[in-house]
A and B are shown apart, each in its own frame.
Chain A
């Protein structure tokens, strides 16, 4: 089956630093989604990407859909303490609508 490799697994950064995380897939996806999950809550959609090469921003967050359609990255600029949480990438294959999730990146921001 499909596999999504997300890296890094965890990051410890200082407030104000920029963060980058990425996902690679063994299969081609037609959609990439990035979610953030806080403890005790469900994942919250941050950014959705639909076209190869697409670059989309949401405030301090920027994500790109790789041109090979097998990868995506998420950047967070000028991190703040409330950015703490687990970030997941998710991809949707060309046929069907189920999402395949990465393993998550645990982000810790030290004030």
Chain B
């Protein structure tokens, strides 16, 4: 059974640009969550999607957005990139919202120059 697939693995952007990251969940999983991981802040929750609807949102500015498609694949977008957005962006999928364990992909390493 294929795991969570995130693309691209690495990305380099400059300040002011925008970026779109992609996540394909484990087959059959319908819930997708996004996290930002940095050395200083650790793993921070960005948002969660289920059945194409955002169910939860973390404390990030509106520059961070996401969406989910009917096949459960998800994308997150960051506009007007800032140096502080450099991080590992992790996607996790689970069978559904609530009390189910989340399984992570290997992340997209975003570097802002």
Point out residues on A near B: beta carbons under 8 Å.
Answer: 1, 30-31, 33, 35, 40-45, 48, 50, 88, 90, 92, 96-104
Task: Return chain B residues, CB-CB under 8 Å to A42.
Answer: 4, 6, 90, 92, 104-107
B42 touches A101 (CB 8 A): yes
A-B contact count (CB 8 A): 61
Task: Return chain A residues, CB-CB under 8 Å to B58.
Answer: 98
Shortest C-beta distance, B25 to chain A (Å), equals 13
Point out residues on B near A: beta carbons under 8 Å.
Answer: 4, 6, 31, 33, 35, 42-45, 48, 55-56, 58-59, 90, 92, 94, 97-107
A88 touches B90 (CB 8 A): no
Of B31, B43, B59, the residue contacting A97 (CB under 8 A) is: B31
- Name B3's closest neighbour in chain A (CB-CB): A42
- Name A48's closest neighbour in chain B (CB-CB): B101
